Chains A and B, each alone.
Chain A
Amino acid sequence: MKVVLQNLTKKFPGRGRKNPVEVTAVNDFTFEIPDGELVGLLGPSGCGKSTALNLISGLLKPTGGRIFFGEDDITDLPPESRGVGLVFQNYALYPHLTVKQNILFPLQNLKGKDKLSKAVMLEKATEAAKLVQIDGLMDRRPGELSGGQQQRVAIARALVKMPGVLLLDEPLSNLDARLRLQTREEIRRIQRETGITTIFVTHDQEEAMSISDRIVVMKEGVAQQIGKPQEVYDDPVNLFVGRFLGTPPINVFAGRCRDGRLYLGEDAVLRVPGIADQDVCVGVRPEGFVLQEEGTLRCEFGSVEVMGRDISVVSGHSASLNPTVRSIIAAENRVDRESAVVRFSLKPQKVLLFNKETEERIYGEMLAL
């Protein structure tokens, strides 16, 4: 089902003497999610992504704006009439019920003409359990399951009534690193198999990038950029988005554009023919460095971290706004560890210019020297 958010706004009124200030958790959020897509809402904590999810689920009422599922305006419908499945961050499984009873619970709520016979309910529950591969644990209680298994039960419970929209709130944050990798593939697989439009919330950019069809980067209640993960990574609209995506994070320098050249400190690194003279913030992705004897960017050599396939050179530069300059280069490169200076040239397509004040992206042609 298509999900459309129109100018969605949620304000929390100030409360009492301690928090007198009104907080705008979601600000004028407009977005259309095509049918059957997996969308990641991404942002640092407190950016309003969970609030946005709760607005879609109906647990919160928006202050302004409309929400459509397909062609239907569901803004004023209570959560139970919206046909959404919701998976909570800590799963919210009913601890006194078995896995089977947990999954059956939403089905048993159906009334009137939707009422199902016991046999059909059991069949549907078994089907949902099979989909998330927990059909062997049906008679256990949540307390007897691992975090990953509980997560699957929560997904099965959300899926069993075949909702039009599946919402996941930080689905992986309570899992350990290995399980997280495995579960995110799993979520992707389940989403593909069922074709249910899915929206999930995360603060982990890697997680969002790896499985989403589309990501929404949010900051302070405002959607900064919406797009395919790779596009957003390659083409961030502002410094915040650039910084938020990518591990290791983007290197940021204070730079200057003078006479069609881009300077980082004293070093002229690229030609920027179309850009007016100004001070800029320069973002350089770690993979945008090339180790070269006659490279234009001279950094003080710090250390080398070997990561198998790649090596990471940690160095310093006077114009760097990050404490260190981190570059990732292929392992074949030989770094002279005795030398005090390491020299790079930059790949133009990995260098991003931002306005120094507004931090908005400055677009323009960039060429090697």
Chain B
Amino acid sequence: MIKKKWRDSGLKGWLYLLPAILFLGVFMVYPLIDVFVYSFEEGYNSASQTHFGIGLYNYSYVLHDPYFLQAVRNTFLLVIITVPLSTGIALLISVGLNSVRPLRNLFQTVYFLPYVTNTLAVGLVFMILFKKTAYSDGLINLLITWFGGDSVDFIDGPYWAKMFVLCLYTIWVVMPFKILILTSALASVNRQLYQAARVDGTSAFRIFMRITLPMISPMIFYLIITGFIGAFKAYSDVVALFGTDLNAAEMNTIVGYVYDMLYGDSGGYPSYASAAAVILFAIVLTVTCINLMVSKRKVRF
């Protein structure tokens, strides 16, 4: 009798789920809710665990903070530049890889290397390329001056130069994963479709536009969506390139701002950090929803 009741109520199932629920609850769900709560508590003091009242002051403060606006501008620039560029270039490289026969495996390995390379090693490479030191102006500056241009400080110099380095770095780092996904997507397109198109006298360009692209469009949209989310969350790359004082370097990102508000030199404000995090969440949610809406109309299967 008891045994049957025990089984029917589904308690057994919940018991199996308990470890996962416990961990997710404590380390994911509770902090998430807490962030929302913090973001509305005005004048929260982490030492005394007290606050003055509930309201939108934290949001108002964050949205009027020039550092935050700078971070938003940087993040948006990074997203808008790197996502389309990296996806486009990855597509070109994948199509190229797909059409060469000799050495294809070698090229695939080479293009995949950045994915498995240690971040510090990558940072070192970029330093050799761009960093001005007492001994050298960096490899790129060497080239620029060799062609008769003026040397540019890419790490501590003008805003556009730093943005250029950041975008280049981001594109370079996300490329291998995109190439990997796209080459396998291209390889999975039914070859008979190409044969059918060839027999019907379709030009190579039209085959690409009318057959290849639509067939791999689900994967392209997957890459764009994850690319957007990833770029919005950019932080560690920026630190690797420009150090920890990002506000001073005008290169902060939204995630960097959140971190600074919590632990940085000007930190200790969990309420402002929470508000900024919620704003980032809202932005990512909106962009992803728009993406999904567009892809639903464009991707047919």
Contacts and interface: CB of A to CB of B under 8 A. Distances in A.
A157 B214 CA distance: 19
Given A80-B201, A95-B301, A96-B301, A109 B195 contact: no
Nearest to A106: B200
Contact of A109 (B192, B193, B200): B200
B199 A86 contact: yes
Interface in A34-87: 57-59, 78-81, 84-86
B202 A79 contact: no
A133 interface: no
Nearest to A141: B300
B1 interface: no
Contact of B199 (A59, A95, A143): A59
Interface string A77-112: 011110011101010101110000000011001100
Contacts of B210: 94, 105
Contacts, number: 57
A161 interface: yes
The B contact surface, by secondary structure, is helix
A57 B199 contact: yes
B104 interface: no
Given A92-B192, A92-B193, A109 B198 contact: no
Taking residues whose C-beta sits less than 8 angstroms from the other chain, chain A's interface range is 20 to 34
B196 interface: yes
B226 to A, nearest CB: 22
Contact of B198 (A80, A90, A95): A80
Interface string B199-232: 1111100100011001100000000000000000
Interface of A: 57-59, 78-81, 84-86, 88, 90, 92, 94-96, 105-106, 109-110, 141, 143, 157, 161
Given A109-B202, A110-B201, 18 more contacts: A57-B199, A59-B198, A59-B199, A78-B198, A79-B199, A80-B199, A80-B200, A80-B201, A85-B199, A92-B192, A92-B193, A94-B196, A94-B210, A94-B214, A109-B200, A143-B301, A157-B196, A161-B200
Q: Please provide the 4 A-B residue pairs with the shortest distance between their CB atoms, ordered closest to farther.
A: A80-B201, A106-B200, A92-B192, A92-B196
8 contacts: A79-B198, A79-B201, A81-B201, A84-B199, A86-B199, A88-B196, A95-B301, A110-B201
